[in-house]
Structure 1
């Protein structure tokens, strides 16, 4: 009531001026300007505006629903979209907001622990759909493409969100050096997510390996699969990264480390088990072939490839596909193997990225608006600038042209300056490198700024020249 009284006293004009002043501060950092392509410029800046409008750095008990403020889809529930697709933008453009979103996960950690315990596991199992309490909010029933009532399994077996949150913590720490956050909140979450994966992995005595069976990966067409590449790889990464943090904290922050492990009752015997499970966790990857099987048995499924597209440039279903039995086909809903390659690009060589892009691109239906942005980014990674630009524009226009239903979730990756480049100068995170001189779009140059370790950087990228400078005025 006090805030309402204050607002009435100030009046509309004064409030509007204060509102504009705050937005000017945000735009000074987050704006990206494209010269030479008005449509791309408008679309990208619209996505940035949406993201700036969604953030609330002053409240550590809220996050962003998958539809943002664009609609009531998913009842405003929070998914992995926030950490994997939206958070990268905030980390580099609005780190205070990024921290608040991670604090939401810390403030729901108790419920994540309860969720794991309820399902027979240890540590913290974050819910697939979350709201204010942090409890699992995923409905049990929905409709398939024919309108038939079907069981929704994502809340039961789409486990990868737990590793996604751990990955987001690492990304925030790496960009900001915010060790105060990590020591007080992040490490506890990280260790509890690793603890979950160790308890979730099952030992296969016959093959002397640990497996993660009966899951759903990012591609939700395929349910109850075994050893999904994305899930297993990121789970293993989660455990190994936790062990790295254990060693680092013991050496550099020993007093704080002892408080953390005492609080969560983490001992040396358990850490030894973590190492055993991580080293023996099965990753379905034959490195000689370069082509990665999305999950065990995927290559044995009926193969159909996409050959036709609709008026919105979206894939049409191939002929003779039974939409009630998508589990039987190699067609996938969205990026899965390629999603992992985007998150951990240094783990995969160029040939592996290219072969998998070319294979899965022909089989990806993009039935989630999360998907095209990944193909834009990976198209850049393999030097296919034409495909990259096509997917970039499809993502950037998802709301303005309503080509997949209004949604905010893909705005983050496509607006993240660390992924944004169609000029000869391409960036991977904060590092810059020169690449091909091919120029797939109408961009003459573009301007962007971002934070790295709370230091502001400015980019001006021309067709032939790459310029990086720090901006001390920010």
Structure 2
């Protein structure tokens, strides 16, 4: 693999690496995405073509370990890619069955295209050269296209070419899910029109989402349609003379019944593909759309880190683009790149929206609308456990109910085990945090005063109602939860799951209560009255919030913040022994369970838990939060806390390196870059050994972008100003990017060797206030300011 700021290249054909390449070569436009599989290959143990529409889910019931288990999955839609070829009358050519002389795949980041070049040996004299260029159109999100160019070397060749739409697909991209029913599509029908258009329609089995695809295939020779079981094909025969290249263009339209402004998805697809321009014209408008995205998300970071960051930005934009702003979708943890986590929405928006807020606020707003539309479902979930307010699910899908699986498979032991991760109730705090961050960055007071205030109020209400008073401690406590660590879901030897006073949960709950009180007091009087009437809020409840926000219990031990009450009583793990025996101990929980032990017995974390507080909040805000709670959190206590958990974390999540790198940039700068590198290479090097092939880790990718944007610059958006407190890392001392802040488009920041340049573009907006630790600067539109930073 080689990379530049504008390309991502894979040389040679390697079946063992194919799944990884397919994920990292995925093309998408925020509405749908297609994995980078070779069009002549079908799904098997090597290849997995997959096409996913944002928000297209289906629910099925399976029998697992003797139990009926219901799961909702993001559906693998009919495969539009198939295009195979063979010497007339011979066998179809694939890299697995025919001699391959050369093979190369290149993702062109600037233009959002995937190029593939392969040379097949046909016989002793002849070679077939194949070049394909593929796009999933960024300007028209319902279109995709592929040009395939064939060149004969050494002799003339008659080449049969067959393009197809294949409805015989299932969800089978994740081996550990294969005991679950993956047959989501039904009522597959195919046909063709007189104008040469082939079509396929189907629907999902229980959600009843209707899907329509239409394809137009153009070649230098006549194209004839044929129908097969669950497939429709278009065939042609090319006469290749040596040195002369012939092309086959395939253009596809995709619609579902979820789409606005259509009647029938099949007719919409047929009409759209009939009206679609030829490939060259599609390529021009597609490149233009990508050029606009790159300008809005300008990022200039040198070296290998810069190349990886550009790839990360590419995949973030393919999952969440301006096309997403019209959809009712959340942030799928694994993008639209594969079937891991079943396409569910977790808390990953916590790592994604802070980046989007400063470039594509309309997308952030749409993603928050997804949460607001499911507010009533979250309130129902709270009522189901006897609480007021809103309890957002750990895993969300189509309608906002809890989608967390009841069982999960440990591949090490082969056992299906109970899954208690639905007790990660801190996801509500993540929703509230994103509401606040979006409104601070965008200045969207209308959203804050309406939908934002409604969500904040109900999340705050849930936390206040979840807190119980402990007379002995003289404090409020939140019991029976699971924190971000995820390894610990119960106390040793206790049957009932859940932990008490998870520090991350309690501190973020206090933050939610505090910020919600601020919003309630700042609301315009008419709006406040409406909200109070609608929610039945009374003054006594606000007084309770104030009390709880100041008295939530945060446990400490040995001068550090405890991950949860009783953490200090757990046994120490022999980390050296486990690293010696297992080498990779990222999934320590699975290793211990396979040994008949439990990670619940040990001071061992999967990822940052307490330290997540330092990721979400600046040092000054975190210190203020603890002071408000009645605790002193000075620099020395925080440093001890960082050191303590750094020695007890296995980094079993791709988010862990990101959070640790972010924190260590300020706490222990010399060690920060190793963790930043871990975050940067998590997917491109597939550090977790096969997981990236099931879908990229969107939160980690967006988080690395935000590490440059906010982490290293100390950038905060609060009190109507941009606050900056840069942290120079020797390995990344020169970089630049632009942000969109409260109507200022393209504010450019550049840091280089202790100097900072800030340029505000010309506009009719008011001046921009910039605050640094040692000075304040006001910039009018059109101004450029150059500052020397303190050592």
CA distance in 2, matches of 1:186, 1:4: 40
Q: Deviations over 1:366-396 (max 9, x none)?
A: 11111110011001121x3342211112111
Which aligned pairs between 1:27-42 and structure 2 lie closer than 5 A?
27-35=294-302, 37=303, 39-42=304-307
Secondary structure of the residue that 1:96 maps to in structure 2?
helix
Rounded Cα–Cα distance in structure 2 between residues aligned with 1:444 and 1:378: 17
Distance in 2 between the 1:115 and 1:16 partners? 47
> Which of 245, 249, 264 is matched with 2:519 structurally?
245
Deviation at 1:420, TM superposition (A): 4.8
Deviations 1:325-372 (A, max 9, x none): 100100101000110122122223432332222111111111111111
Q: 2:474 aligns with which of 208, 215, 238?
A: 208
> What whole-Å deviation, never above 9, does each CA across 1:230-282 have from its counterpart, x for those lacking one?
00111111112111111111xxx111111112111211122222223323321
Determine if the alignment matches structure 1 residue 344 to structure 2 residue 344. no
The structural deviation recorded for 1:435 is 4.9
Sort the Cα spacing of 1:34 and 1:418 in 2 relative to 1 into closer, same or farther, 3 A. closer
CA distance in 1, matches of 2:672, 2:574: 20
Partner of 2:681: 397
Which residue matches 1:362?
A: 647
- CA distance in structure 2 between the aligned counterparts of 1:67 and 1:53, rounded to whole angstroms: 12
**What is the CA-CA distance between 1:210 and the residue it aligns to?**
1.6
Say whether 1:418 aligns with 2:685: no
CA separation of 1:314/1:447 partners in 2, compared to 1, >3 Å: closer, same or farther? farther
Distance (Å, rounded) in 2 between the aligned partners of 1:113 and 1:317: 34
Partner of 1:234: 508
> Does residue 197 of structure 1 match 2:481?
no
1:471 aligns with 2:761: yes
Judge conservation of contact 1:284–1:292 (CA < 8 Å) in 2.
Answer: yes
Summarize the alignment of residues 20-419 of structure 1 with structure 2, pairs less than 5 Å apart.
20-35=287-302, 37=303, 39-55=304-320, 56-82=323-349, 84-144=350-410, 145-155=412-422, 157-223=423-489, 224-249=498-523, 253-285=524-556, 290-304=559-573, 306-307=575-576, 322-323=592-593, 324-345=597-618, 346=620, 347-348=622-623, 349-382=634-667, 384-404=668-688, 405-406=691-692, 407-416=697-706, 417-419=708-710
What does the per-residue CA deviation read over 1:395-428, in whole Å, with 9 as the maximum and x for residues that have no partner?
112221111222222111111143353xxxx433
Contact 1:306 1:317 (8 Å CA) reproduced: no
Q: Distance in 1 between the 2:458 and 2:603 partners?
A: 34
User: 1:110 & 1:137 partners in 2: Cα distance?
Assistant: 16
Structure 2 CA distance for partners of 1:141 and 1:107, relative to 1, 3 Å: same
Deviation at 1:76, TM superposition (A): 0.4
Question: Given the superposition, is the C-alpha separation of residues 371 and 316 from structure 1 closer, same or farther in structure 2, using an over 3 Å criterion?
Answer: closer
Residue 715 of structure 2 corresponds to residue 428 of structure 1: yes
Q: Distance in 2 between matches of 1:41 and 1:135?
A: 39
Alignment partner of 1:459 out of 749, 765, 772? 749
Q: Structure 2: which 5+ runs fail to align?
A: 1-266, 490-497, 624-633, 717-721, 764-780, 782-791
Relative contact order: is structure 1 or structure 2 higher (C-alpha 8 Å, sep ≥ 6)?
A: 1
The 3-state SS of whatever aligns with 2:750 is: strand
| Cα separation, 2, equivalents of 1:177 and 1:302 | 48
Q: Distance in 2 between matches of 1:176 and 1:332?
A: 36
Contact 1:305–1:363 (8 Å) recurs in 2: no
1:445 matches 2:729: no
1:285: how far off?
Answer: 4.1
Contact 1:377 / 1:419 at 8 angstroms: preserved in 2?
no
What is the CA–CA distance in structure 1 between the aligned matches of 2:428 and 2:448, rounded to whole Å?
17
Matched-pair contact (CA < 8 Å) for 1:305–1:362: no
Q: Deviations over 1:27-48 (max 9, x none)?
A: 112132222x2x2111111100
**2:292 paired with 1:19:** no
Distance 1:179 1:434, change over 3 A: closer
Provide closer, same or farther for how the CA distance between residues 326 and 447 of structure 1 changes in structure 2, counting only shifts above 3 A: same
Is contact 2:714-2:727 (8 Å) kept? Answer: no
Q: TM-score, normalised by structure 1?
A: 0.90
- Structure 1's 372 and 255: CA in aligned 2 closer, same or farther, altered over 3 A? same
Describe the superposition over 1:43-67 as per-residue Cα deviations: whole angstroms up to 9, x where unpaired: 1111001111111443351012111
Which whole-Å CA distance do the structure 2 matches of 1:368 and 1:263 have between them? 41
SS at the partner of 2:448? helix
**Counterpart contact for 1:228–1:296, Cα < 8 Å:** yes
Gapped runs of 5+ residues in structure 1? none
Give the structure with higher Rg (CA). Answer: 2
**Cα RMSD (Å) of the superposition?**
2.4
> Which structure: greater helix fraction?
1
Contact 2:316 2:701 (8 Å CA) reproduced: yes
Superposition deviation, residue 3 in structure 1: 5.9
Q: Name the SS of the counterpart of 2:608 in structure 1.
A: coil
Question: Secondary structure of the equivalent of 1:203?
Answer: strand
- Deviation, 1:447, is 2.1
| Distance in 1 between residues matched to 2:739 and 2:387, nearest whole Å | 40
Q: Which moved more, 1:337-346 or 1:121-130?
A: 337-346
Distance 1:283 1:385 in 2: 27
Distance 1:377 1:431 in 2: 17
CA distance in 2, matches of 1:305, 1:96: 49
Q: CA deviation at 1:106?
A: 0.5
SS in 1 for 2:560: coil
- C-alpha offsets along residues 164-193 of structure 1, whole Å, 9 cap, x if unaligned? 111111111111110111122100000000
Give the whole-Å Cα distance in 2 for the aligned partners of 1:420 and 1:343. 10
Alignment check: 8 A CA contact 2:301 2:734 kept: yes
String of CA shifts for 1:88-112, please: whole Å, max 9, x gaps. 1111121111111111000111111
The alignment partner of 1:282 has SS state of coil
1: distance between equivalents of 2:547 and 2:639?
32
Deviations 1:133-161 (A, max 9, x none): 11111111112353322111112x21111
Structure number with higher strand proportion: 2
Structure 1 window deviating more from structure 2 (298-307 vs 103-112): it is 298-307
Q: Deviation of residue 304 (structure 1)?
A: 2.5
Distance, in Å, in 1 between the alignment partners of 2:611 and 2:396 is 26
For the residues of structure 2 that align with 1:78 and 1:408, how far apart are their CA atoms? 11
